Amino acid sequence: MTISNLSTLSPPLDPHLYTGSPSDAVTPHARKKRGVADESKAWPQHSTVKISLSNMTPEQTSLVKKAINEWSPHTNLHFKFIKGNDGDIRIAGDNIGLGSWSALGTDALHLHRSEPTMSIDFTNPDDTARAHVLHEFGHALGLLHEHQHPECSLNIDEQAAYEHFTSQNFTKDDVGNNILGQFDASEVKTSEYDKDSIMHYPFPASLLNGGDEIVFQTKLSVGDKKFMRSMYPIDESPAGKFLYSLTQFFISRS
């Protein structure tokens, strides 16, 4: 996986693909390449991140919370769901199929409070929507796209990729920057490339020169969990565990 100091932006994708992050939402299509995570966008260690949800049914709200809480055991952060629009992360439900996206890490703090920092497309089946939440919340924690890892060796057919992704609301620049581009190893912090990462786009075999299909991931990989723990190390000491549990207790009571 990868950590970078680059900020990002991308348009919504085909519902069967993952989407990117409008962390530079004020300058659409100004995106630079991303791999798996951006350390400069990470939330302060051991901090409480407030999350607000809007435009969702009770069932959609439950789905989002459960997916977010799959990340929780692998980070030292505390997630507090609140009412209203004052969340640090503000997740809006999309029921008309515009696509899923998320601001990258603490870039969410720079968006106006009236605007969502993440959108989840609920026109997909629940399993797909849940996978999108896992992926987009990975972006919200600072993770970047795995297929742009410096060590990713996918042999992508560039012409086929341009044809495929421009048919899914990408511009040619988007494809070049968001799909084909890879990080410079000197600009990123990485762990081992992980084709099973929730942060990896799926690629049909038709886009890969002689390669096997990269399937749509629906769950956190072992690598995702390990890398998140490296970003937000958990204090396993007795005192650390006590303080974490105490904070969680007060959050649950507030």
* CA 89/CA 14 separation, integer angstroms: 24
pLDDT per residue, tens digit, the chain (254 aa), is: 654 433 333 334 333 344 444 433 333 333 333 336 778 899 999 999 999 999 999 999 999 999 999 999 999 999 999 999 999 999 999 999 988 999 999 999 999 999 999 999 999 999 999 999 999 999 999 998 899 898 888 999 999 999 998 988 788 998 888 788 887 777 766 789 999 999 999 999 999 998 889 999 999 999 999 999 999 999 999 999 999 999 999 999 88
DSSP state string for 149-161: -TT----B-HHHH
Dist CA 77 CA 142 (whole Å): 13
Give exposure, 127-149, as e/b (b: 16+ Cβ within 10 Å): ebbbbbbbbbbbbbbbbbbbbbb
Question: Which residues are registered as beta bridge partners of 2?
Answer: 190
CATH of 2-253, one of 3.40.390.10, 3.20.20.70, 3.40.309.10, 3.30.1360.180: 3.40.390.10
In the chain, domain spans = 2-253
Query: What pTM did the predictor assign?
Result: 0.85
Which tokens in the block code for residue 169?
């609301």
